[in-house]
Amino acid sequence: MNGCECTPTDAALVKGLARIIEPYRGQPNSLIQVLAKAQEYIGYLPKWVQVQVAEGLGLSLQEIYGVTTFYAFFSLIPRGRHKLSVCAGTACYVKGTKNVLKGVRDAIGIKPGQTTPDSRFTMEIVRCIGACGLAPAVIVNGKDVHGRLEAEQIPEILSLYE
């Protein structure tokens, strides 16, 4: 990421976003639906997208920002192609979440909340993934559970995802 993303860099993205907003123009109650579609289209919600949505729906930028930061589903930063959700629930924490985080950091150089420069991975910490018997565990892309992890296993697991 190179600082402020206050202006769009791709005219095709701007036109595509305008097509998403147009059916909902002046309808502030459609905010979450429009933001979800915009994020699906762009990949995340940079400031220029929030500004266009605010103008299109007749809302303030503060209202848009409040919604995008309230719901965990929305992201204000670019996401990687693969999402690593590292469990920090009680069982995982006790059995080694810190080592798993260190393994990820050593393997791909990112901390929770960050995305690799090649947009391959985004890592986040989650409270519990419901796999306490496999602690410590990680879910990749919301479906692939990897459990009883040691930091040394992380590179091999990450190699499964291009």
Q: For residues 56 and 34, what is the distance between their CA atoms, to the nearest angstrom?
A: 10
Rounded to 10 degrees, what is the CA torsion of 98, 103, 106, 112?
-50
Which residues fall in the annotated binding site? 87, 92, 128, 132
Distance CA 151, CA 141 (A): 19
Q: How far apart are CA 32 and CA 39, in angstroms?
A: 10
Q: How far apart are CA 141 and CA 131, in angstroms?
A: 15
| Binding region for [2Fe-2S] cluster | 87, 92, 128, 132
| Contact by Cβ (8 Å): 157, 116 | no
